[in-house]
Amino acid sequence: MKKEQKNTPIALWTGSDRVLDEILNSVTVILRSGGCSWNRCLMCQYRHERYHDLSTDELIIAMNEQLETLAASISEHNPSLVKIYTSGTFFDDLEVPPLVRERIASLCKGRVVTVECRGDYVDYQKVSAYRNLLLDESGKGGLIVAIGLETSSDPIREKCIDKGLSFEQYTAASADIRRAGGLVKTYLLFKPAYVTEREAYDDMVSSVKDILPYTDLISMNPCSVQRHTLVERLWRQGSYRPPYLWSVVKVLAEAPIHITCDPLGGGQKRGAHNCGTCDKMILDAIREYNLNGDQELIRSVLEISCDCKKEWDFVMEHEKPYSMPLTG
Ligand code: SF4
Ligand SMILES: [Zn+2]
C-alpha cells in the first residue's frame, strides 16, 4: 500500500429505495475490503475488487480511510438507509475486520443499514450484537442482511453458479437474522450459465415462491457478462446470452410480492437486453416499479408490442438446454 495514496470507496452514490412500502433516502457505498473468501462464483467480477497482501492493521487503516468519504456523505445527506457493499461478506472478519464494522455502526447509528453476507457466515450472536449497535437511544435504526441465494434450486446453484451454499444453510441463516431482530433480503440471479431462457424464467418463478417464507425483501439480478468470469468466456464463444428484458418483466409482473431489480448493463450486449428499440422504455418502467411498487404499470409493459417479442416467444419455446456428456 502506498502511503501517499488516500483510499476512497470504489463508488458512492445517493438515491431512494423502497423498503417494506416505505421510500427511504439512501447512501450506497462500495468499499474495497479484504475480498471474498469464497471467490469462486462463475459470474462474479466483484471478487477481484479487493486489497491484496495487506496485514490486518493495514486493512483496517485502508478501510477506515474509505469511511471518511462515507462519513462526509452521511453528514451531508442525512440518509435513513445506508447500503454497505463490500464485494463479499460483511461478517467475515478477514474481509471486514471487527474494528471497521464497529466504526461503520457508529457512523450509521439510528439508521437502517443493509449489508451483504454469505448465508454460511451468518452468525446469530454477531448479527444480534451488530443490530443492537445500530439502534440509537430511542430504538431507531435497524439491520438488513442481504444473502446471495441466487436460486432456490440446489443443483442450479451448485452446477451453474458454484455458490457453495445450500438452501438449508440459507433458511437457517434467515431464521438467525430474524431472531436477531434483522430483516432478510434475498438476491436471486436470473439466468446463470448453462440454463436456457425458459429454464431461467421457470427457476425465478419457483425461487420466488420457495423463498417467500424466509425473506422480507427480494432483489432479482439479471445476470450480466462481467470481465474475467466463466460467463464471459461462454458469452464470447456464443454459449451464453443474458436474459431478455421481456423475461425479467414477466417475472416482476407475475410475482406475488414486490421485487426490486436493477439490471446491470441493461439494454447492452453484456446485460439483460431485447432488440435495442424497446429496451429503454422497459428499463425506465422497471426503475419506476422499484420505487412505486405499482404492479399494474409493470403488467402494462408486457402488453406493449415490439418485433422482438416474437423472437423472445420463439426462444422461450424452442431453445434447447446446454448439453454436457453424462459419462466420461
Ligand atoms: S458472488 Fe459473492 S460469494 Fe460469490 S464470488 Fe462473488 S462476492 Fe464471493
Ligand atoms: Zn424490442
- Name the phi and psi angles at 74, rounded to 5: -65, -40
**Domains in the chain, ordered, with CATH?**
11-318 (3.20.20.70)
pLDDT score at 326: 67
What distance in angstroms lies between residue 56's CA and the mean position of ligand 1's atoms?
Answer: 21
Q: What is the DSSP string of 163-178?
A: ----HHHHHHHHHHHH
pLDDT score at 322: 67
| Ligand 1 near 89 CB (within 6 A) | no
Ligand found nearest the CA of 147:
1
85 C-beta neighbours (distance < 10 Å), count: 20
User: pLDDT tens, 102-136?
Assistant: 999 999 999 999 999 999 999 999 999 999 999 99
| Ligand 1 near 87 CB (within 6 A) | yes
Cell of 191: 439466468
The answer to whether residues 223 and 242 touch, using CB atoms and an 8 Å cutoff, is: yes
| Residue for grid cell 452521511 | 74
**pTM for the complete prediction?**
0.95
Q: How far is CA 20 from the centre of its chain?
A: 17
> Please, which residues bridge with residue 219 across strands?
187, 260
Measured by CA distance, the residue closest to atom 7 of ligand 1 is: 88
Sheet strands side by side (includes 217-222): 11-19, 22-30, 81-85, 112-116, 142-150, 183-190, 217-222, 259-261
| Ligand 1 near 50 CB (within 6 A) | no
Average pLDDT (68-75) is 98
Tell which atom from ligand 1 comes closest to the C-alpha of 163: 4
User: pLDDT tens, 76-91?
Assistant: 999 999 999 998 899 9
| Ligand 1 near 41 CB (within 6 A) | yes
> Where would I find the H helices in the chain?
56-77, 98-108, 124-134, 154-156, 167-179, 197-211, 230-236, 245-254, 279-292, 295-303, 308-318
Of 153, 164, 228, nearest to 194 by C-alpha is 153
| Ligand 1 near 142 CB (within 6 A) | no
